[in-house]
Amino acid sequence: MKSFFFSLRPEPNELPVQQRVNLVALYAVTFVSLLVVPYQFLIDLPVGDPVPLLFEGVYLVTVLCSLGTFWFTRNLGWAKTLLGAGIFVLSAYLIVVAGGTVGLALFYILAALPLLGFVLGFEGAIAFIALFFVGVLVRVLWTTLPAHSLFADAHIKTELLVVFGVSAGLGLITAFYQKFLIEYLSRLAYVDSVTGWRPESGSPRTSTCPCARASRSF
């Protein structure tokens, strides 16, 4: 059972510890999505508007396709690409509708920010967080908002934007920290500090032990 859920195809540009962490993040996002999206679907269903149901359905299908792609191919890169595309599409829709009737749906994205570095990669996470915050800022400050939206209340709009700004800033810091932490742990676990040998180099590892060199000389 463990081998089914966690066996991986080696990636040329990622060390095993990176792949393991990314896989756990993929499962975490999938698990949370399978809980939250159906719940939100049931809330939106009585309203009768097909648009949010369509985007929620598309995102859920994308999540399941991402998981299925990994299980059938063991290619984590393809699975992350599918999941990242779903996250981008859903986030763009939530910005367009200002988080729904009261704006709370945007907070789902805030909760996911700490995991984006593992799912989207470092560059993808930085781009997503920046675009998401700018999109929210533009939508809230310069467009018409739903009458019942929290962002339409002038008394709390600024405070909510500060919350989003702080969350975006912490998300960027987290992405940088995750990148350097994973690289450090990877070097510590897989890179020979003397020879610089790395697992993905493809060359056999040569021992730096004097006794080993002496034994080979006989």
Distance CA 118, CA 25 (A): 6
pTM: 0.80
- The answer to whether residues 182 and 17 touch, using CB atoms and an 8 Å cutoff, is yes
The count of structural domains within the chain is: 1
Q: Locate 208 and state its tokens.
A: 């730096």
For the stretch 195-199, contacts whose Cβ atoms lie closer than 8 Å and that sit 24 or more positions apart, written own/partner, are 198/15, 199/15, 199/16
Distance CA 131, CA 137 (A): 10
Range of the domain at 172: 2-217
For the stretch 135-142, contacts whose Cβ atoms lie closer than 8 Å and that sit 24 or more positions apart, written own/partner, are 135/91, 135/92, 135/95, 136/95, 136/106, 136/161, 136/164, 137/161, 137/164, 139/95, 139/96, 139/98, 140/98
pLDDT tens for the 218 residues of the chain, in order: 667 788 888 877 777 778 888 899 999 999 999 999 999 899 888 888 899 999 999 999 999 999 999 999 999 999 999 999 999 999 999 999 999 888 889 999 988 888 888 888 889 999 999 999 999 999 999 988 888 898 998 888 999 999 999 999 999 999 898 888 877 777 776 665 556 555 555 555 554 454 444 444 44
Return the H-helix or E-strand segment holding 120: helix 116-142
